[in-house]
Amino acid sequence: MINGMARPESRENSASRTVDFLRRTGAIEFAQQITSGERAAPSFEEFRDYLIRLNGIIRKVPAHKRSADGRDVHLKNPVETIGFPRQEDKETLLREAYEAIPKITGGDAKYLLPAAINAVHLFADGNGRTSRLVHFLLREPSPEKDRYAELTETLGNLGRYETLDVNPGEIAEEIEYVVLARHGWTFDEDGLPQQLGPIQSAIAAIELKRIDGTSTLYGAAEEFFNLYEEGALYGLTALYEELHESGIEEVSQDYNGAKRISPLKLSKKLSEGDWRDLTDRLYELKKEHVETLIRIFTEPEKYRVDDGPETIRERFVTLVEKQS
């Protein structure tokens, strides 16, 4: 004990415990089966259950408490807060990514599956570690090294997974712009989103503090505005598609020469059901974002960076491999 607290598990013990689980369960062989062909591959349910076990081992969660427990999880850093798809959509999206493997080149599974795990955040914690470990297992084995010994060394050196971080946030903007173009946004000469119908600027954020917190509509409205802060362009898209051009004009107000959507006007115009519809539509855009991530691997030639020669898939792979 240290000052009445349990002594933290040593790096070596943590590495040994995790690798022991991987060795006992034949993790490398299991990973190889995933890319060996549609008939030989484990079912999605087997893959999902293995992920739950793996994530539980990483987090030291007792076996009887392990689950897909990522409801309402958010990733916070000093710059932004990142939200993820609705919990009810997460397993569907992960299944879509898993079942897309026969449609892509075998080597791309080591990018798609870890990226999808990161993108949906199925668990309350340890998603990044789970994702990086899956990437390590799916990479082509080195003939000169024992894979489990290599993993033990990696885990023990710095006490964390030093495997490559297959983070879809690296191409989040490129994917977002694909989705926005699909929903009618126009772009300026620099390739930045410019306008959707009458929408040229954002919500008047200063008004958010003036909404009556005791209003019966506040809970439903607050959920939408929280999601808006995580992704303003998707929030504006949801507003436009729910209210249409005439409705947007009704709830807009001039602020120093810039027309902005007024939260105060919105709160007077929309019912609680309207706010829920808005939130549902925004979550559909989040779902579409992950579906587009999957498509950049199944149909890479359709998704290019700034309509240039480089595909988004190629950019992502390059960014991941630059870490090595």
Which residues touch 288 (CB under 8 Å, ≥6 apart)? 179, 182
Q: Which of 5-19, 80-94, 159-173, 297-311 has the highest mean pLDDT?
A: 297-311
pTM for the full predicted model: 0.91
Q: What is the mean pLDDT of residues 249-278?
A: 91
Cα–Cα distances in Å, from 194 out to 75, 188, 242, 281, 305?
28, 6, 19, 21, 18
pLDDT above 90: residue 315: yes
In the prediction, which pLDDT does 217 show? Answer: 61
In the prediction, which pLDDT does 78 show? Answer: 53
* 3-state secondary structure string across 55-118: HHHHHCCCHHHCCCCCCCCEEECCCCEEECCCHHHHHHHHHHHHHCHHHCCHHHHHHHHHHHHH
Q: What is the chain's mean pLDDT, rounded?
A: 87
CA–CA separation, 19 vs 133, rounded Å? 11
Q: What is the mean pLDDT of residues 229-241?
A: 95
pLDDT above 50: residue 2: no
CA–CA separation, 64 vs 58, rounded Å? 15
In the prediction, which pLDDT does 3 show? Answer: 44
Amino acid at 207: E
Which DSSP letter does residue 43 get?
Answer: P
H-type alpha helices, the chain: 11-24, 27-34, 44-59, 87-99, 109-120, 127-138, 147-158, 172-182, 218-230, 232-250, 263-269, 272-298, 312-321
- Say what percent of the chain tops pLDDT 70: 89
Of the given ranges (11-20, 107-116, 175-184, 210-219), which has the lowest mean pLDDT? Answer: 210-219
Closest Cα partner for 58 from 161, 141, 154?
161
pLDDT-derived band at 161, boundaries 50, 70, 90:
low
pLDDT tens per residue across span 68-116: 999 888 776 655 667 789 999 999 999 999 999 999 987 999 999 999 9
pLDDT above 90: residue 212: no
Owner of token pair 């898993």: 98
Crossing angle for the helix pair 27-34 and 127-138, to the nearest 10 degrees = 80
CA–CA separation, 53 vs 19, rounded Å? 13
pLDDT tens per residue across span 15-51: 778 888 999 999 988 998 998 776 678 999 999 999 9
